[in-house]
Amino acid sequence: MNIKENIKTIVVKKPLKLDCGLTINDFPLAYETYGSLNIKKDNAILVCHALTGDQFVTGLNPITKKDGWWSNVVGPNKSIDTNKYFVICINVIGGCMGSFGPSHINPKTKKTFGTDFPVITINDIVNAQINLLDHFGIKKLFSVVGGSMGGMQVLQFVSNFPEKTKTAVPIACTSSHSAQNIAFNELGRQAITADHNWSEGKYSSNNTNPDKGLAVARMAAHITYLSKKGLQEKFGRKLQERDALKFGFDADFQIESYLRYQGSVFVDRFDANSYLYITRAMDYFDLGKQFDGNLSNAFKNSKTKFFVISFTSDWLYPTQENKDIVIALNAIGADVGFVEIKSDKGHDSFLLDVPDFLKTLKNFLDKSYLR
């Protein structure tokens, strides 16, 4: 797989001090853009991707040859209208789509970093991203938008750079990973590290991949992205290409077959070590704690106009956790709107064709852009 030629990158010369204490410099940031930047440079939207996303937001992803992860949302005349806005998405550091991550070569050892890569945080990810705005000469974004872990980046972005965006749309997210969130991530990490092929993270030297572990991690996580009702309606107890139970451990049920499929396609496009690092960044995320336990203080200096969106059936980042963000913003008189969208598609609703969500996001952005 020749990744390089389809991936745009900048090399960040400026040293970046990470939360773990280490400093990195001369590191690559991979990105993609859609639409065009206007002369005033006031129509840029930074889209932040989720755990397993990448910079290829919409259209055909040149690496996976599949539709971009937010093709439902971003494109001409869509909610984030690329006829109007200049959309930038940056692969997070720690990721595996060209930005500085554990699959990069460690110049000291001439081998991939693996677990020698520094543990990164959402704060580090956001502090790296700001370099690309400088690259484009963008002083102030029109908006920063993201769902799930993308939403965490939105919150951290406004907190770190209150003057750098006019609006912010955190979607289906939280300001602090809950014990349940950490538990599910730990399950995924344990599945990866328990795979013999993981080899303490040095699998690339052995020319193997911890595919089984990574697939199980993906399967477990995937369940958390769907709702019980959604799963029941889609699969119920339907059997997979058979009329009766086989009294064995093959995939008798459609849901089993579906999850196995989700696991198997995931390992083709994602790096196991990146999965460890990015889930860790999510677990470490606790924006309120960065401000002595008072989330409001994270946004104290911001004139940014917020719009928070949650989904009724999202149990991974439930409405209450999204509302806590709204409450913190209202406590300091910030400009914030909020709606909970009705959907039975679970946490994944923000990625799917949910008309009320698509319409509301579009309305918020287009009306805010006018003023």
Partner 1 sequence: MLMKPEYKIISDIINENSRVLDVGCDDGTLMEFLKQNKDVDIRGIEISKEKVQICVSKGLTVIEGNAELDLKQFPNKSFDYVVLGQTLQAFVNPEIVIKELLRVGKKAVVTIPNFAHWKVRLNLLVKGTMPVTKTLPNEWYNTPNLHMCTIKDFFKFSEKIDFKIFKSLALINENVSTINNSNLFTKNLFAELGIFLIEKSYEN
The answer to whether 77 contacts partner 1 (rule: CB under 8 A) is: no
Collapse the DSSP code of 112 into the 3-class scheme (helix H, G, I; strand E, B; otherwise coil) and give the result: strand
Residue pair 314/346 in contact (Cβ under 8 Å)? The answer is: yes
The answer to whether 371 contacts partner 1 (rule: CB under 8 A) is: yes
Residue pair 329/358 in contact (Cβ under 8 Å)? The answer is: no
Of the candidate residues 190, 235, 337, 358, the single one contacting partner 1 (CB under 8 A): 337
Residue pair 314/284 in contact (Cβ under 8 Å)? The answer is: no
Torsion of CA 173, 174, 175, 179, to 10 degrees: -140
Residue with smaller CB distance to partner 1, 8 or 300: 300
The answer to whether 345 contacts partner 1 (rule: CB under 8 A) is: no
End-to-end CA gap in the chain: 46
The answer to whether 367 contacts partner 1 (rule: CB under 8 A) is: yes
Of the candidate residues 56, 161, 284, 307, the single one contacting partner 1 (CB under 8 A): 307
Of the candidate residues 305, 315, 349, 350, the single one contacting partner 1 (CB under 8 A): 305
| Nearest alpha-carbon partner for 10 in 45, 43, 55, 41 | 55
**Site size toward partner 1, by CB under 8 A:** 25
- 49 in active site: no
The answer to whether 113 contacts partner 1 (rule: CB under 8 A) is: no
Separation of alpha carbons 167 and 141, rounded Å: 8
What b/e sequence results for 153-176 when a residue is b if at least 16 CB atoms lie within 10 Å of its CB, and e otherwise?
bbbbbbbebeebbbbbbbbbbbbb
Q: How far is the CB of 35 from partner 1 (least distance, A)?
A: 22
- 296 in active site: no
Of the candidate residues 6, 64, 335, 352, the single one contacting partner 1 (CB under 8 A): 335
- 314 in active site: yes
Which span (104-112, 232-240, 268-276, 322-330) binds partner 1, by CB under 8 A? 322-330
Of the candidate residues 152, 281, 336, 354, the single one contacting partner 1 (CB under 8 A): 336
Residue 250 CA, chain-centre distance (Å), reads 33
Where on the chain is the footprint of partner 1 (CB under 8 A)?
Answer: 305, 307, 323, 326-327, 330-331, 333, 335-342, 356, 359-360, 363-364, 367-368, 370-371
Residues recognised as catalytic: 148, 314, 347
